């Protein structure tokens, strides 16, 4: 339970790609700094947990650090599935520690609800959930119980985006009018576990990654999306499942501005760099244009090596992005994560620590009031994404799905009492 030197234990639910490349290294680093306590990871089966425990980079980066796996891969068939085990793990946690949800998109809702029911603070990888009503429900449960719920939109911690937000909010850019954004993930993703869940009936490239630049445009400009249309191209994954592997989306904003967002799993494996992403937003003042232009994969670093690394997508010649997430040598041995991927996870964990530290020692009611006050303050500040200040993302998600399944018809977003999405009707 909360104390003055509150360092929460952390349970990560999901042991896949994002846990390996971002979440676990960040949590290990926070543990190294004494900011979190014990780490547990629960996955559907033992195989990914074994891979995490034996990952050479993680072992070299964090010597002597480890996590408790559920299921214990040393004792079960690595392929045997335990879909309900995460619930038992949650029940065994002391209340008011931290759960990080890193499961496929459609499982965020049940996992987050179960974590809140177990009295845990929650951090989730994006998207929070797939339905607006679920976001509203989660916001209420979190607030009522004084439990933090934060969404890991790491682009908010990229300094170039914070610079753009500041310039925009200080009136230096004028009004947003027209923009283009793109995020193309590598082709080899098609061979990964994506083929089992990012299929036409569950998700699509727009739902999976357009949310980053749509959230970012809202984060920078303060505008909310009011209509969406998305067209997609269906292709087969190697296992024969079908997915919308290329998408083109158009977002109309409340002031009439338009953002085009293109997404795909098609960036060549042979190309240097892990993806291709960026945006150009055109603004206007009284009688002049203004713009923000980002090459977000950043191509200013070039490495040409004598052999390629062991990870999927590694190339002999590479143009690594130093901004999102890298592991660099650190004093005392090992490697430490740097970049906005790390800063984002740290900021979310620090929000929980601040909440519990301020509430420490208070009686039940007083503690609840303190935690609720901090939840409201964070919502209003708007730097960390939370259900109350970023649920437009869930409306975008619903609208995007409706549109792509209706061959690109425009879907209108309503806010307020009657919040929801509907196909635009033409007279």
In angstroms, what is the minimal distance from the CB of 106 to ligand NAD?
9
Distance of alpha carbon 89 from alpha carbon 86, whole angstroms: 5
Nearer to ligand NAD, 68 or 357 (CB): 68
Q: Report the distance separating Cα 339 and Cα 153, nearest Å.
A: 13
How many CB atoms within 10 Å of residue 78?
Answer: 14
Cβ distance to ligand NAD smaller for residue 14 or 232: 14
Residues in CB range of 364: below 8 A, 6 or more apart: none
Strand runs labelled E in 35-148: 39-42, 68-70, 98-101, 121-125
CB of 267 to ligand NAD, least distance (A): 14
Instruction: Give dist(CA 234, CA 204) in Å, integer.
Output: 9
- Output b/e per residue, 221-252; b: 16+ Cβ within 10 A: bebebbbbbbbbeeeebeeebebbbbbbbbbb
Closest by Cα among 44, 87, 34, 41 to 68: 41
Residue with nearest beta carbon to ligand NAD: 16
Least CB distance from residue 245 to ligand NAD, whole Å?
Answer: 15
Q: How far is the CB of 102 from ligand NAD (least distance, A)?
A: 5
Q: What is the rounded distance in angstroms from the CA atom of residue 69 to the CA atom of residue 385?
A: 29
Residue 228, both tokens: 């969406």
For the bound state, the minimum distance from the C-beta of residue 14 to ligand NAD, rounded and expressed in Å, comes to 3
The nearest distance, CB 83 to ligand NAD, in angstroms, is 4
Task: Name which of 125 and 327 has its Cβ closer to ligand NAD.
Answer: 125
Please name the helix (run of DSSP H) or strand (run of DSSP E) that holds residue 355, with its range, or none. Answer: helix 340-359
Q: Please, what is the Cα angle at 395 between 180 and 176, to 5 degrees?
A: 35
Q: What minimum distance in Å lies between the beta carbon of 355 and ligand NAD? A: 23
**Residue 66 or 87 with smaller CB distance to ligand NAD:** 87
> Helix axis angle, 364-381 relative to 132-144, nearest 10°?
140
* Nearer residue to ligand NAD within complex by CB, 11 or 370: 11
Rank residues 193 and 293 by Cβ distance to ligand NAD and give the closer one: 193
Please give the Cα distance from 346 to 322 (Å, whole number): 18
Residue whose CB is less far from ligand NAD, 57 or 357: 57
- Based on CB atoms, which residue is closest to ligand NAD, 13 or 352? 13
Q: How many CA atoms lie within 13 A of 59 on its CB side?
A: 7
Q: In the bound complex, what is the minimum distance in angstroms from residue 331's beta carbon to ligand NAD?
A: 29
Neighbours of 257 (CB within 10 A): 22
- What pairing do the DSSP bridges indicate for beta strands 98-101 and 39-42? unpaired
Report the residue number, 15 or 313, with the smaller CB distance to ligand NAD: 15
Shortest Å distance, C-beta 259 to ligand NAD: 18
Nearest approach in angstroms of CB 237 to ligand NAD is: 13
Binding site for ligand NAD (CB under 6 A): 13-19, 42-44, 48, 83, 86, 102-105, 107, 125-126, 193, 208
CB closer to ligand NAD, 90 vs 411:
90
Q: Which of 109, 125, 115 is nearest to 40 (CA)?
A: 115
């Amino acid at each position: 339970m909360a104390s003055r030197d509150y360092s929460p234990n952390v349970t990560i639910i999901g042991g896949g790609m994002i846990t390996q490349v971002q979440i676990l290294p960040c949590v290990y680093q926070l543990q190294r700094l004494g900011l979190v306590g014990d780490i547990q990871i629960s996955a559907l089966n033992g195989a990914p947990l074994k891979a995490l425990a034996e990952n050479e980079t993680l072992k070299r980066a964090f010597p002597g650090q480890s996590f408790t796996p559920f299921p214990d891969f040393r004792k079960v068939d690595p392929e045997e599935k335990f879909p309900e085990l995460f619930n038992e793990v949650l029940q065994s946690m002391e209340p008011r520690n931290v759960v990080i949800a890193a499961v496929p998109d459609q499982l965020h809702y049940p996992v987050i609800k179960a974590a809140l029911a177990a009295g845990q603070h929650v951090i989730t990888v994006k998207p929070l959930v797939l339905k607006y009503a679920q976001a509203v429900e989660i916001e209420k449960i979190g607030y009522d119980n004084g439990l933090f719920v934060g969404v890991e939109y790491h682009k908010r911690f990229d300094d170039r985006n914070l610079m753009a937000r500041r310039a925009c909010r200080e009136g230096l850019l004028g009004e947003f009018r027209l923009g283009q954004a793109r995020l193309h993930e590598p082709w080899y993703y098609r061979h990964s576990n994506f083929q089992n869940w990012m299929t036409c009936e569950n998700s699509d490239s727009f739902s999976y990654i357009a949310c980053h630049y749509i959230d970012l445009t809202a984060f920078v400009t303060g505008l909310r999306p009011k209509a969406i249309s998305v067209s997609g191209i269906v292709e087969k994954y190697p296992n024969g499942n079908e997915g919308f592997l290329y998408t083109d989306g158009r977002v109309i904003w409340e002031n009439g501005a338009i953002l085009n967002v293109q997404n795909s799993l098609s960036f060549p494996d042979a190309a240097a760099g892990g993806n291709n992403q960026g945006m150009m937003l055109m603004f206007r003042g009284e009688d002049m244009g203004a713009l923000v232009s980002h090459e977000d994969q950043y191509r200013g670093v070039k490495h040409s090596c004598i052999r390629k690394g062991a990870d999927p997508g590694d190339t002999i010649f590479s143009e690594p992005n130093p901004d999102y997430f890298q592991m660099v040598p650190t004093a005392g041995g090992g490697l430490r994560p740097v970049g906005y991927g790390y800063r984002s996870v740290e900021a979310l964990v620090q929000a929980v620590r601040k909440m519990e530290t301020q509430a420490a020692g208070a009686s039940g009611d007083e503690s609840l009031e303190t935690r609720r006050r901090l939840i409201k303050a964070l919502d209003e500040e708007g730097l960390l994404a939370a259900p109350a200040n970023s649920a437009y993302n869930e409306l975008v998600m619903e609208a995007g799905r409706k549109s792509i399944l209706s061959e690109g018809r425009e879907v209108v977003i309503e806010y307020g009492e009657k919040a929801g999405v509907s196909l635009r009707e033409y007279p």
